[in-house]
Amino acid sequence: MPKPIRVGVVGAGLIASSVHLPILRRRTDLFDLRAITDLNRASADALAKRFAISKVFDSTAGMYESGEIDAVFILNSGGHAEVAAQALDAGLDVFCEKPLAYSQEEMALIETSWRKSGRKLMLGYMKTFDQAVYKAQERIKGRPRSVDVVVLHPSGNSQVATTDAHLETFPLSKELLAKIEDSNKKAMVDALGAQAAKAFGSEYHDIMMGSIIHELSVLRALDVHIENIDYVDRWPQKSRSESFIILGHTLDGVRVTIRWFYLEDYPKYQEEIRWVNENEGHHIIFYSPYILRVPTEYIHTQRNGLDHIESTFKSYQPNFEIELTAFAELVHTGKQQEDPIFAGKEDLLITQKMALKICELEGITPGGDIAKLA
């Protein structure tokens, strides 16, 4: 059996404390958790104490060059491309949470580093590793007429209220907040242009690239690749858009609808994907990603004479854990579920097509990457 992989973690936020670190610490057969770093040193110190991580570094460069680790989990909020590229350049294998990049410039940076380094890279789309998705892949026989996605997204606090997340928070300094905001603003302007970044840059960053691309990843796993965006409605528009309705279609004419709703006090997170044609139906229901071992449901419907047969499958093994197991296998054997650059580029392109459609419908001047799509 291969030795556990010596790993470090970049990011000491919610996703690290509630999901990845508990799995990394439990799966000592696969991983040797050695180090952590975060721009907020107090958060990194708190998680290091909680998860018995011996080394806390002040910078990613310090951790990468320490000789303590062979692979890194990039889990920080905000941009990932630069820290992921630096890790690859340092000769480390990389697991990177979505999104891989916010702009084409960032995507080119990480692709260059990946191809030059020869190291392993996995993009974190845990829902594509869910056994319910695997079951749907096995049972789908034809092409869908339509695929409908609905996401009910409560606040982060609502989602983590019953999880093992680290509840103590450590506010960032004004200087650090300003640095992060400047970095995010540059990425949004590079992607959207100045006018569009001002109009809906936060929605592009937090909702489209922060959440909706998860739905795109599941659609891709079901061989549904959106090619054109026909319509995007978002509301309200005074400050932060909290609802999106997106209509698109594939090259072979499959209609796809994505309805995404931020509902501050809704009692639970839920995502539903309904795949249908004249002969078969496939319905996947995901619950909060922060609560491990709450089953994903898959309902398969097919005709039986004048009646129908409906069967339900529930997957209890956390998709995050299956995903991290797959990363360990990637490091040891090179076996990979999907090309991370292909997936990252497809998601970036579709999301930027959504942004361009918003500009067209709302009379906003596109710039940056999306101006090249016009």
Write out pLDDT tens, residues 160-185.
Answer: 665 656 556 677 777 777 777 878 88
- Containing H/E element for 220? helix 213-221
Q: How far apart are CA 116 and CA 345, in angstroms?
A: 18
Classify 5-125 by CATH class.
Answer: alpha beta
Q: How far apart are CA 119 and CA 187, in angstroms?
A: 26
Mean pLDDT across 26-53: 96
Q: How far apart are CA 139 and CA 134, in angstroms?
A: 9
* 43 close to 12: Cβ distance less than 8 angstroms: yes
Q: How far apart are CA 323 and CA 96, in angstroms?
A: 12
* Burial class of residue 134 (count of CB atoms within 10 Å of its CB; 0-12, 13-18, 19+): middle
Superfamily of domain 127-318+338-371: Dihydrodipicolinate Reductase; domain 2 (3.30.360.10)
Asked if residue 157 has pLDDT above 80, the reply is no
Q: Is the N-terminal amide bond of 99 cis, ω within 30° of 0?
A: yes
Q: What is the per-residue pLDDT for 325?
A: 97
- Containing H/E element for 284? strand 280-287
Question: For 157-161, 179-183, 217-221, which range has the lowest pLDDT when averaged over its residues?
Answer: 157-161
CA neighbor of 137 nearest in space, from 214, 219, 215:
219
Write out pLDDT tens, residues 91-147.
Answer: 999 999 999 999 999 999 999 999 999 999 999 999 999 999 999 999 999 999 999
Whether the predicted model's global pTM rises above the 0.85 cut: yes
Mean pLDDT across 292-307: 89
Boundaries of every domain in the chain: 5-125, 127-318+338-371
Cα dihedral across residues 192, 99, 187, 178: positive or negative: positive
Q: Angle at the Cα of 131 (from 130 to 136), degrees rounded to 5?
A: 105
